[in-house]
């Protein structure tokens, strides 16, 4: 824009009456470029970014000069960042990279839309300092829209070295003074402690730095509570809106994510939302609740391109400050509007396909389990999704491509809309049944295609009729016994919230209180898994400074007679594992080697992260008739590793099947 048109706009702006109630908008969308900053103003709010860095340093709204904090010791304002490491780096730690743009471009500037691009182009002389990626950060403001969109195009090209991408996100550091009330679900919202409450001597670090006991918070009402950002984690499928409310003046700041297509690990992968500082995040890539499997590993010259977002930052207000908390309800409504308008029509990048460039798939999934029913069973509410080609269940570790998920209806019918063109496999799992489904044919989605799979049949793993089962096969340990928290480590928010009981800090320590001398024993027929099966098999009973005792759980069951015609099958589904080895022994506690060993599995960290699931594992153990006894039998489940109180496994479901019945019997 040249000077004269800019001046003209300013004049126009001055003579217009800005009103929230007028039918016809009188606001003007304008772009102001300064030497090292750019400002977009649409008459509702003003967005200020560094130029060419592309970091957000100001959001002016509703009389508040800046919704963002700029006086934190390290991280300020709003920014895209990533965490990366050189190949061969073990674990999930890497280098923080705050993606400073080195080039700025106005992509679009009309009366309706302004779209800006801040790119950082890979420079081989910076090898070791920057992640080898070309990154294009985009920001869009629409006329009359109370908020802005952001997306980014990440590209790894043929001339770039190998590297690992551990994390990618947008982070906002909100004004500490203004934003005290956080909301991310109807029953997970509260006044939050202050950042300084987490720092000694006001705060005392617990078993790891993220968990802090508030011993002397500025506001005494928080005294004795635990603060930990992972208490506000959320599954991808539900992670659509969260943020903070300023109570006076009443202003909401919301991060709305209308689609999961660019997230990793499928619909139930969990991630962070908002937390103390006050911080609001849009997570795109992370190792949370999955560990190293979620580190994206790129080979030298491996071509890859991915669009993260767009996500929407929504700002709202209400006239009466007594209604400030209703801003959450308004934010939810706005989230539904954004979801309904996905895929957005307005992003300029050709790398973001519009609705008419995308395709659909539909069909019906049924379950065949002849030991339950001769008829096909409806795959009611099944998770059905397209993800890059791989083995059954591979979607849960997949993090380079796009995924598209839905839930089937009561009859198992499913329809997935607006899929990006590409080659996929169709994956599914059905609550109530073990295992993973993968449709045998690969699926090619093209613009406007509508693939019909017809009726497809999932045959869950099963060799014989159920003798007994423990838990519900739904990839979660939520149905098991979740103890009361230690009264010294409470988050008051979760008291009297049955669905959030497991989010309290330190529950792993309660095992030793409940089982001081002897490990858990579950007796089939008389025990109740809701009361008698601890939700996590933890190491416990500290026996030295850093030494814990492995635990061995027993399942006792009776067999009136032994069927010699074939093998029995023990199905063990885990909902999480962290640096654990599960050993199974049948009627022989000291059997060496064990009858089954999982090997070293998992780095979910779900126990420390107040979760009930991470990645899903299913093991099938053949048990021969000779291993079983007429009368009482005992299965020993030993978690063999004992380095840390935070390591262990969570069961999803356990079942013992009798040998296969001959066809005559069913």
Ligand X SMILES: *[C@@H]1O[C@H](CO)[C@@H](O)[C@H](O)[C@H]1NC(C)=O
Q: Nearer Cβ to ligand X, position 210 or 563?
A: 563
- 577: part of which helix (H) or strand (E)? strand 568-586
Q: What is the DSSP letter of 510?
A: H
Beta carbon nearer to ligand X, 568 or 653: 568
Asked if 563 and 612 touch (Cβ cutoff 8 Å), the reply is no
- Least Å distance, CB 591 to ligand X, is 13
Query: Least CB distance from residue 624 to ligand X, whole Å?
Result: 5
- 166 half-sphere exposure, CB direction, 13 A CA radius: 18
| Residue with smaller CB distance to ligand X, 16 or 625 | 625
How many residues are given for the chain? 666
- We find the least distance from the C-beta atom of residue 661 to ligand X, in angstroms, to be 14
Would you say 99 or 572 has its CB closer to ligand X?
A: 572
Nearer to ligand X, 259 or 633 (CB): 633
Distance between CA atoms of 577 and 600, rounded to whole angstroms? 9
Separation of alpha carbons 157 and 402, rounded Å: 18
54: its two tokens: 């592309």
Residue 362: CB minimum distance to ligand X, A: 39
| Interface contacts to ligand X, rule CB under 6 A | 566-567, 622, 624
3-state secondary structure of 498: helix
Cβ-based neighbours of 112, under 8 Å, separated by 6 or more: 29, 142, 143
**Rounded least distance, CB 586 to ligand X, Å:** 11
Give Cα separations from 203 to 189, 194, 212, 222, 233 (angstroms): 21, 10, 6, 11, 21
What's the closest the beta carbon of residue 166 comes to ligand X, in angstroms? 39
**CB closer to ligand X out of 509 and 563:** 563
> Is the CB of residue 113 less than 8 Å from the CB of residue 68?
no
Of 116 and 570, the one with the shorter C-beta distance to ligand X is 570
Q: Are 37 and 49 in contact (CB under 8 A)?
A: yes
DSSP state letters, 268-325: T-EE--EETTTEEEEEEE--TTTGGGGSEEE-TT--EEEEEEEEEEEEEE-SSGGGGG
- Rounded Cα–Cα distance for residues 197 and 74 (Å): 17
Nearer to ligand X, 381 or 566 (CB): 566
Cβ atoms of 370 and 664 closer than 8 Å: no
CA–chain centroid gap for 615, Å, is 11
Work out how close the CB of 593 gets to ligand X at its nearest, in angstroms, rounded to a whole number. Answer: 13
- For the bound state, the minimum distance from the C-beta of residue 626 to ligand X, rounded and expressed in Å, comes to 9
Shortest Cβ distance from residue 567 to ligand X (Å)?
4
Question: 333 or 622: whose CB is closer to ligand X?
Answer: 622
């Amino acid at each position: 824009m040249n000077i004269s048109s800019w001046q003209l706009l300013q004049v126009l702006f001055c003579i217009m009456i800005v009103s929230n109630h007028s039918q016809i908008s009188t606001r003007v969308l304008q772009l102001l470029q300064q030497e090292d900053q750019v400002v977009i103003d649409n008459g509702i709010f003003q967005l200020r970014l560094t130029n060419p860095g592309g970091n957000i340093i100001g959001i002016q709204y509703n009389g508040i000069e800046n919704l963002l904090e700029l006086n934190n010791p390290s991280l300020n304002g709003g920014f895209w960042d990533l965490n990366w490491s050189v190949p061969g780096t073990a674990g999930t730690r890497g280098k923080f990279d705050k993606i400073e743009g080195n080039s700025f471009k106005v992509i679009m500037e009309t009366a309706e839309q302004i779209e800006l691009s801040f790119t950082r182009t890979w420079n081989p002389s910076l090898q070791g300092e920057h992640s080898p990626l070309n990154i294009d950060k985009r920001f869009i403001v629409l006329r009359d829209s109370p908020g802005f969109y952001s997306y980014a195009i990440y590209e790894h090209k043929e001339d770039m070295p190998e590297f690992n991408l551990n994390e990618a996100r947008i982070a906002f550091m909100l004004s500490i003074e203004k934003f005290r009330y956080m909301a991310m679900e109807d029953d997970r919202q509260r006044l939050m402690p202050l950042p300084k409450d987490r720092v000694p001597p006001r705060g005392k670090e617990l078993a790891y730095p993220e968990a802090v006991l508030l011993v002397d918070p500025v506001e005494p009402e928080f005294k004795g509570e635990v603060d930990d950002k992972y208490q506000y984690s959320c599954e991808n499928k539900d992670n659509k809106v969260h943020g903070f409310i300023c109570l006076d003046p009443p202003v909401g700041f919301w991060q709305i994510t209308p689609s999961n297509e660019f997230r990793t690990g499928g619909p139930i992968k969990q991630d962070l939302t908002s937390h103390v500082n006050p911080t609001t995040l849009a997570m795109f890539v992370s190792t949370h609740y999955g560990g190293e499997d979620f580190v994206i590993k790129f080979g030298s010259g491996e071509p890859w391109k991915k669009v993260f977002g767009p996500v929407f930052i929504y700002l709202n207000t209400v006239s009466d400050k007594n209604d400030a908390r209703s801003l959450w309800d308004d934010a939810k409504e706005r989230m539904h509007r954004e979801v309904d308008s996905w895929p957005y029509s307005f992003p300029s990048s050709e790398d973001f396909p519009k609705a008419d460039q995308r395709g659909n798939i539909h069909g019906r999934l049924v379950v065949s389990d002849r030991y339950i029913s001769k008829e096909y069973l409806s795959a009611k509410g099944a998770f059905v999704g397209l993800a890059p080609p791989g083995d059954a269940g591979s979607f849960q570790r997949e993090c380079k491509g796009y995924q598209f998920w839905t839930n089937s209806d009561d009859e198992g019918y499913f329809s997935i809309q607006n899929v990006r063109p590409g080659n996929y496999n169709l994956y599914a799992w059905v609550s109530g049944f073990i295992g993973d489904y993968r449709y045998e044919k690969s699926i090619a989605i093209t613009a406007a295609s509508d693939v019909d799979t017809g009726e497809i049949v999932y045959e869950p793993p099963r060799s014989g009729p159920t003798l007994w089962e423990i838990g519900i096969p739904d990839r979660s340990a939520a149905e098991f016994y979740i103890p009361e928290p230690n009264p010294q480590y409470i988050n008051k928010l979760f008291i009297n919230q049955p669905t959030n009981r497991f989010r309290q800090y330190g529950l792993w320590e309660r095992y030793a209180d409940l089982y001081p001398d002897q490990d858990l024993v579950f007796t089939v027929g008389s025990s109740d898994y809701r009361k008698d099966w601890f939700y996590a098999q933890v190491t416990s009973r500290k026996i030295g400074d850093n030494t814990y005792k492995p635990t061995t759980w027993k399942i006792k069951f009776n067999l009136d007679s032994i069927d010699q015609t074939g093998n029995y099958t023990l199905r063990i589904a885990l909902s999480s594992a962290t640096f654990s080895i599960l050993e199974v022994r049948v009627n022989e506690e000291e059997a060496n080697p064990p009858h089954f060993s999982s090997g070293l599995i998992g780095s979910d960290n779900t126990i420390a992260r107040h979760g009930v699931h991470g990645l899903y594992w299913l093991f099938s153990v053949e048990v021969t008739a000779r291993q079983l006894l007429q009368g009482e039998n005992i299965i020993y489940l030993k978690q063999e590793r004992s380095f840390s109180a935070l390591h262990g496994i969570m069961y999803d479901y356990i079942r013992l099947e009798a040998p296969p019945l001959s066809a005559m019997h069913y």
